């Protein structure tokens, strides 16, 4: 055989089998091996970046990103609870309130509504003897606070009528409802409104509570109409305009928004649903004196401006870095970036690599130390301390930019680089609260205000239209603000239904 091929014939009947040996393959050159190694290393780096991105996304929760706590996984919720209870209980510490803690029990009323003397005891609590002829040993006392029996009062009003000289007849107006009709009064309406608006109880169950607690059976339609009537009374009283005027006069405001489910969107001139995801927006004072909710059809800059408060506002605004708020920056006295949001984003980057992204951990400590100093000093921060904090912040952010500038990522820039660039650009807004101590360092106030809309949606699931969302926002604005002015919710509802709602006044501070 030629060409290095050898063979042999194995006879079996008429078959011929060739056994062939192939030539030895040529060895790859050094350059080819080096190129192969470089290609594999590049491929490994790309795959590691993709894996890191997937792990980052899977690990995102309310502790290290802007993901709301309601969307946390079971594991993330457990980790959040563990973070809150990381301090171990000492072995000698008993459960319950600790010595020196101020309790919240009832204190005796100095002027009770009535006094009642009970019959003396007839039998000794110790020996069981008869006390009918026992000596007088003085008096003791006890106070019992309770609610008076609730009864539905049915009042039949006789309405005098008078006819003028021109023949026009005028009938006296009933205190509530309409002439010639039977209707529930303002207190029944307030009782129906209260659980649905203040307690996030679904309308059907609010009707059930009315029957079970008050003995007043009402329909779910009545509860829905009561809510609608209440919102309309507030609208006609000028409540929205009064709230917007009072808020625009404040020196510091906080703003945030949350998505909400609406079944039927508004339609355009062609009858097509308007694009966008409806949201509930809150604009409030840091101390919760005024808390305003407004519906928007989409999370857009135009919709935020249409709320009618921030457009033209000239004070300080505490917010996250959503781009829709950037349109107001030029007119504002200052912006405070929510430090809680920044800390969560830094935690997300730090979890990617505890050593390479150590700079993010340093950034986290800076606003916390500034906030601690902020709480201890009511006049100003120590200039030397503030300068040191700013230097540490700038140094850490600069390192975050440098170490991540060319770091490979699955798509786009490395998250650490993106975050560090944003922290550098927004540095002055991060430190606004250190220059004006009236400005809070986080936007937690707004996030707390949005818990109620989120809870309402978790219970009810959706709202039918933006109109019903607007009614809900107006009612919540009224009840939260009146509560923070020490007005009972049922009293606030009653006064609004009877034509005398609480309205905010412009601050004179």
Residue 372 lies in a domain: yes
Closest by Cα among 202, 233, 207 to 218: 207
The reported pLDDT for the residue numbered 409 is 85
Is 0.85 topped by the overall pTM?
A: no
* Number of folded domains that form the chain: 1
Residue 285 lies in a domain: no
- The dihedral region occupied by 462, where left means phi > 0, alpha psi between -120 and 50, and beta the remainder, is beta
Closest by Cα among 142, 147, 148, 138 to 109: 142
Instruction: Tell me how far the alpha carbon of residue 354 is from its chain's centroid.
Output: 30
Spatial separation of the C-alpha atoms in residues 254 and 6, rounded to whole Å = 89
Q: How many CA atoms lie within 13 A of 417 on its CB side?
A: 12
The reported pLDDT for the residue numbered 477 is 96
The reported pLDDT for the residue numbered 198 is 84
Residue 159 lies in a domain: no
In this structure, what token pair is assigned to residue 3?
């060409």
The boundaries of the domain holding residue 398 are 339-442
Residue 313 lies in a domain: no
> Is residue 335 within a helix (H) or strand (E), and if so which, with residue range?
strand 334-337
Residue 427 lies in a domain: yes
Residue 196 lies in a domain: no
The reported pLDDT for the residue numbered 148 is 87
Spatial separation of the C-alpha atoms in residues 178 and 380, rounded to whole Å = 60
Residue 198 lies in a domain: no
Residue 419 lies in a domain: yes
Cβ contact 20:5 at 8 Å:
yes
Between β-strands 279-284 and 334-337, what pairing exists: parallel, antiparallel or unpaired? unpaired
Sign, Cα dihedral of 302, 258, 322, 49: negative
Closest by Cα among 211, 76, 204 to 152: 211
In this structure, what token pair is assigned to residue 405?
């500038």
Task: Count the Cβ atoms, other than its own, within 10 Å of residue 207.
Answer: 23
Q: Which residues of the chain have pLDDT under 50?
A: 1-13, 85-88, 509
């Amino acid at each position: 055989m030629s060409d290095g091929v050898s063979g042999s014939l194995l006879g079996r009947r008429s078959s011929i089998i060739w056994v062939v040996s192939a030539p030895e393959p040529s060895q790859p050159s050094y350059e080819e091996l080096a190129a192969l190694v470089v290609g594999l290393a590049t491929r490994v780096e790309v795959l590691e970046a993709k894996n890191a991105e997937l792990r980052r996304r899977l690990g995102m929760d309310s502790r290290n990103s802007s993901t709301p706590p309601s969307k946390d996984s079971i594991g993330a919720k457990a980790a959040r609870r563990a973070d809150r209870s990381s301090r171990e209980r000492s072995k000698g510490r008993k459960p319950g309130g600790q010595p020196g803690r101020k309790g919240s029990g009832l204190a005796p009323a100095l002027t009770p509504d009535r006094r009642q003397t009970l019959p003396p005891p007839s039998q000794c609590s110790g020996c069981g003897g008869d006390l009918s002829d026992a000596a007088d040993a003085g008096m003791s006392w006890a106070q019992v606070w309770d609610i008076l029996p609730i009864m539905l009062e049915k009042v039949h009003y006789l309405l005098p009528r008078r006819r003028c000289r021109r023949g026009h007849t005028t009938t006296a107006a009933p205190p509530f409802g309409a002439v010639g009709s039977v209707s529930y009064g303002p207190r029944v309406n307030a009782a129906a409104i209260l659980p649905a608006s203040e307690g996030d109880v679904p309308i059907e169950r609010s009707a059930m509570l009315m029957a079970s607690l008050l003995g007043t059976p009402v329909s779910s339609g009545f509860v829905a109409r009561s809510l609608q009537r209440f919102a309309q009374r507030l609208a006609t009283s000028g409540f929205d305009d009064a709230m917007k005027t009072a808020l625009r006069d404040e020196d510091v405001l906080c703003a945030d928004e949350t998505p909400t489910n609406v079944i039927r969107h508004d339609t355009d001139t062609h009858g097509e649903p308007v694009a966008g995801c409806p949201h509930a927006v809150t604009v409030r004072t840091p101390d919760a004196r005024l808390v305003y909710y407004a519906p928007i059809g989409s999370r857009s800059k135009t919709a935020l401006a249409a709320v009618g408060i921030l457009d033209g506002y000239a004070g300080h605004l505490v917010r996250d870095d959503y781009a829709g708020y950037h349109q107001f920056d030029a007119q504002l006295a200052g912006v405070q970036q929510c430090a809680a949001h920044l800390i969560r984003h830094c935690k997300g980057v730090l979890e990617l690599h505890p050593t390479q992204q150590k700079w993010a951990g340093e950034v986290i400590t800076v606003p916390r130390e500034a906030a601690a100093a902020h709480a201890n000093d009511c006049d100003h921060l120590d200039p030397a301390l503030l300068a040191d904090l700013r230097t540490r912040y700038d140094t850490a952010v600069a390192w975050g930019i440098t170490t991540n500038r060319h770091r490979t990522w699955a798509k786009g820039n490395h998250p650490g680089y993106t975050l560090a660039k944003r922290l550098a650009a927004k540095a002055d807004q991060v430190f606004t609260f250190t220059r004006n101590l009236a400005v809070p360092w986080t936007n937690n106030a707004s996030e707390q205000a949005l818990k109620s809309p989120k809870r309402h949606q978790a219970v009810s699931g959706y709202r039918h239209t933006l109109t019903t969302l607007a009614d809900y926002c107006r009612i919540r604005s009224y009840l939260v603000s009146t509560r923070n002015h020490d007005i009972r919710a049922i009293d606030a509802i009653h006064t609004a239904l009877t034509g005398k709602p609480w309205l905010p006044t412009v601050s004179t501070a």
